[in-house]
Homo-oligomer: A and B are copies of this chain.
Amino acid sequence: MQIGEASRATGVSAKMIRHYESIGLIPAADRRDSNYRDYGAEDVHRLGFIRRARDLGFSIEEIRDLLHLWGDRGRESRDVKALTLSHIAELDQKIALLGEMRATLSHLAHCCDGDNRPDCPIIESLAGAAPLQHAHRH
């Protein structure tokens, strides 16, 4: 199977498959006489694993860990669960931060008439006249 077919089978772009190989996330693919990469069922399976993990927001380094756990027959599900829980905590943090941003903006938008007059509390808030309550630096 050429890289294009592997890409279509897994939803991972050919660009990214080559990239994952270059950073050592996946082993170097076999080559045909034409120097084209050649993929088998196991490679497709691994790429599918990677895509699903990325869809869940795992970083490349976390996926690298997961692949090791996946490939290790003696792995402890405890480790996998710990990695997952840590990821959930990260997601909670992001969600909370975005929620605060949204609340602040929503409050401002609600106070803003939205008509032609230039008295806009949103701009005034940003200008520093009334300090924002929910602002956070990142």
Contacts and interface: CB of A to CB of B under 8 A. Distances in A.
A101 B91 contact: yes
Given A51-B137, A84-B109, A137-B55, A118 B66 contact: no
Contacts of A92: 102
Q: How many identical chains are in the complex? A: 2
Interface string A99-126: 1011011101100111111111011011
Given A128-B48, A136-B55, A137-B55, A122 B84 contact: yes
A116 B69 contact: no
A49 B95 contact: no
A70 interface: yes
Interface residues of A, number: 59
A95 B88 contact: no
15 contacts: A53-B126, A55-B136, A75-B118, A75-B120, A76-B115, A77-B114, A77-B118, A77-B119, A77-B120, A81-B113, A81-B122, A84-B105, A84-B122, A88-B106, A88-B109
